[in-house]
Structure 1
């Protein structure tokens, strides 16, 4: 980088117009030296200002830039110089900072690459961990859903078995009642049959008694005799 000695210079001078002395200020552009020159078309406009070596003290006729006339010399010159110095300083500080940043980045290149790789690996591990956790959650959810389905199916089977058992019990009770009813009917029929047999036997007995009575009365009647007379 160039030093501050290459900053533009503000020069104060005066030139004569008839009998008047007019104060002027000129700025030597950045990087100009005694060999700098302008085309003739430009030089003719600067000639009234200071197209002479007395301006820069080198006698070469290097041109300057007219800033104005009629100004108070020292104050205006200091203000311009301070502004130019401030701008140049800011530019150089910016360049220096950029260079220092670039140098620092270059020095820490390997460290930065290692840090980037470390963060990439860390992010990779985190993603893998999250993926495994998500897969485990899905597996647990599937197991829970499967268990719930099995529990529901078991409950349905138990309910169906209970219903079947209840139906079988009712059927068995109905069959038992039916068997009891059938036995009762058979017993009633047996009793009726026995009653009928008794009645029939009693009727027959009475009938025999009546016959005996009738026959007994017939034996107690007087015997009738019949004689046959012969005819002579």
Structure 2
């Protein structure tokens, strides 16, 4: 691995956490950087899950009061998501790199469109809080399968599902989303590690960079408009989509 590759991975890890703190979408940066340094698509996807986990954990800890208030429902959603993410991760490791490679541009395109539509997917006025509906549980299960399989845009999908089928305070919904994201990422990491599809050297470079980016993201979130960061992430997503369709 060249010095350029190390620097690229470090800055991708750093910027992914900054972006996640402001608008989300950091997976596009870590996945893209790893593929540019020659990491096979499946390993790049799996390793992105490893690098995102610390940020999910710290976000969940910051919402510990809201999580306690959620009561048993958080365990229901977490358990359902555990099964779904396990299924998604197992599907991924069963594929060959060429098979997954053929899906990557379509997955990136879908994730980019979901990310771009995020502000429109989120209800403008949240309904009064209620237990998540059966339809919400079904959609959350589907989202967790996607999260275990690929993951980009997963957070926006979960907030949309919870907002439309449960309602209530945004921060409570975000707290649930963060807990579920921890579960999905942890299950995916266990499966991917067991399957030998994690590129540990890039992960070791990006994890501390992501920790630094998390602190910087708090500073940037107060100064950089979300619309600017969202536009930059969409541009990266479209660029990666074009790259994978063209090569």
Whether TM-score is above 0.5 comes out as no
Q: Which of the pair is proportionally richer in strand?
A: 1
Q: Which of the pair is proportionally richer in helix?
A: 2
Q: TM-score of the superposition, structure 1-length normalised? A: 0.20
Identify which of structures 1 and 2 has the higher relative contact order when contacts are C-alpha pairs closer than 8 Å and 6+ apart: 2
User: Which of these two proteins has the greater Rg computed from alpha carbons?
Assistant: 1
